[in-house]
Amino acid sequence: MKILVLNCGSSSVKYKVYEVDGVNQELASGMVERIGTKNADLKCSCCFAHDPRCAARMFGEPGKLDVPDHRAAVNMICDLLKSDHCTAVKGIDDIAGIGHRVVHGGEEFAESVLIDDEVIEGIERCARLAPLHNPPALLGIRACAEIFSGKPQVAVFDTAFHRSIPEKAYRYGIPDVLYRQHGIRKYGFHGTSHRYASHEAAKLLKKPIEHTRIVSCHLGNGSSITAVQGGKSIDTTMGLTPLAGVIMGTRPGDLDPFIPLFMIKEMKMSVQEVDEALNKRSGFEGICNHHDVREIEELARAGDEDCQLALDMFAYRAARFIGGTVMALSGCDAIVFTAGIGQNDPYMRARILKYATHMGIKIDPERNSRNERMITTDDSEVPVFVIPANEELVIARDTAAIVGVRSKKPAVA
Could you list the active site residues?
158
Q: How far is the C-alpha of 144 from the C-alpha of 29, rounded, in Å?
A: 17
- HSE-CB of 66 using CA atoms within 13 angstroms: 0
Structural contact between residues 103 and 224, judged by C-beta atoms closer than 8 angstroms = no
H or E element at residue 161: none
Instruction: Name the residue type at position 222.
Output: G
Question: Across the beta sheet with 224-229, what order do the strands follow?
Answer: 232-236, 224-229, 213-218, 334-338, 384-386
Compute the C-alpha angle 127/129/130, nearest 5°. 65
Q: How far is the C-alpha of 51 from the C-alpha of 64, rounded, in Å?
A: 17
Q: What is the dihedral of CA 333, 238, 3, 64, to 10 degrees?
A: -130
> Where do the H-state alpha helices sit in 92-211?
117-126, 134-147, 167-170, 176-180, 191-205
Structural contact between residues 92 and 386, judged by C-beta atoms closer than 8 angstroms = no
- HSE-CB of 352 using CA atoms within 13 angstroms: 25
Phi, psi of 16 (to 5 degrees): -145, 150
Is 145 strand, coil or helix?
helix
